[in-house]
Amino acid sequence: MDLATRHIPVQIITVDENTEPKLTQGALGYLVKSENKETLQGAFNELKTFVERPMRNLLLIEDDEVQQMSIRELIGNGDVKTTVVGTGKEALDALHSGKFDCMVLDLGLPDMSGVELLEKIKNEPQSRAVPIIIYTARDLLQEEELRLRRLAEKHCAQGRALAGAVAG
User: What angle do the packed helices 88-97 and 114-121 form, to 10 degrees?
Assistant: 30
SS3 state at 145: helix
d(CA 165, CA 168): 9
HSE at residue 122, side-chain half, CA atoms within 13 A, is 19
d(CA 112, CA 31): 35
Q: pLDDT, tens digit, for every residue of 106-158?
A: 988 999 988 889 888 877 765 556 778 888 777 778 888 888 877 776 655 44
Determine contact, residues 133/166, Cβ cutoff 8 Å. yes
Kindly state the average pLDDT of the residues 6-26: 61
**Where do the domains of the chain lie, and which CATH numbers do they carry?**
1-53 (no CATH), 55-167 (3.40.50.2300)
